[in-house]
Structure 1
Amino acid sequence: MSTVIYNKAKKIIEENDELVDDFGGAPKDIIKKAQITLDLEFPEDYKLFLSHFGALTFGSAEIYGVFREDFENSGVPDAVWVTLNERSLVNMPDYLVVIYNSGMGEMYCMNYKDLNDDNEPKITSYFPGFVDAAQENEVLYDSFAEFLLDIVTEEIN
């Protein structure tokens, strides 16, 4: 199901290429290295996103991804770099992977502790600097594909 939703989002992105700034697709070996580095398996819809775009700026929305092999010396919008950085700076839990910064102090994360019916991470909120016990990790989307479709739809409206 999330592949169908992802394809809807991809179609919107491709139809609005004047809003697109991407890094080109990430090779499978870099995606695999990213998963090993973070010690988890990305959901299929996110792997599709990474293989098509790497990372993406669509209008004003910047969606984090994987686009280079040197995660430690990278920067935004590298999801691995941002996630490792947040883990180091504010002790963000290992079950979260940052994919988006709202610009309002809230980060959107794939939450591997809160899985959907396909056993893939839901997208939840995270507020850096707040202790784990104070985090609500509110569910924002059931899948990465739902998140992506909502973000790109908002940008064109």
Structure 2
Amino acid sequence: MGIREAEQFVQLFRENPDESIFAGGCSEAEIAEAERQLGVTFPESYKFFLRELGDCYVAGEEIYGVVVRDSQLLGAVTETFDLRESTGMPSHLVAFRPDGMGGYFTLDTSRMSAEGEAPVYVWGAGAHSATELEYIGTDFGTVALGLAQRGLRSA
């Protein structure tokens, strides 16, 4: 799981250009630098997304990736740092999308599977520890594909 769904997500994204905007893929060096700055290892499906799209909107569903502007890494990197500072979000979580209710979908890099995938949880506005997280899905690819499918159905 994970990579196959991430591939389907990217394919769905490309099949719907009128409903899709993306920043452009990241290089391996940019991905490695984002991981270094955040002090985590990204899941394989998220790295695939970063290489292919970088950062995107599809049918109104925003998914943070890594965007490089003036030698700065933006997107998930800045959002994650902001949440760590403003809410005390644990350093093993990486924010990749607002949930629309004051929380953020996050990758829990402390729970990486043998396949190199991390589960997705919501770090909520009221969460004060990792035990208060709401489980969303097994991996980034599966969650991203579901978000895109839902958004395109309602578009």
Cα deviation for residue 29 of structure 1 reads 1.2
- Number of aligned positions between the proteins: 151
Name the TM-score, length of structure 2 as normaliser.
Answer: 0.90
1:144 and 2:129 equivalent? no
Moved over 4 A (4+): none
Q: Secondary structure at the match of 1:67?
A: strand
Partner Cα distance (2:127, 2:151) in 1: 29
Structure 2: tracts of 5 or more residues without a match: none
- The answer to which structure, 1 or 2, has the higher relative contact order (CA under 8 A, 6+ apart) is 2
1:53 is aligned with what amino acid?
L
Q: Deviations over 1:17-42 (max 9, x none)?
A: 11111101112111110000011111
User: Does the aligned pair in 1 maintain the 2:54–2:66 contact within 8 Å?
Assistant: yes
1:59 and 2:56 equivalent? no
Report the identity percentage: 26
Change (3 A) 1:25 1:124: same
Partner Cα distance (1:95, 1:41) in 2: 9
Structure 1: tracts of 5 or more residues without a match: none
2:19 is aligned with what amino acid?
L
Cα deviation for residue 119 of structure 1 reads 4.6
1:140 is aligned with what amino acid?
I
Question: Which residue of structure 1 lines up, in the alignment, with residue 106 of structure 2?
Answer: 109
Cα deviation for residue 83 of structure 1 reads 0.3
Report matched runs for 1:78-157 at 5 Å: 78-116=75-113, 118-132=115-129, 136-157=132-153
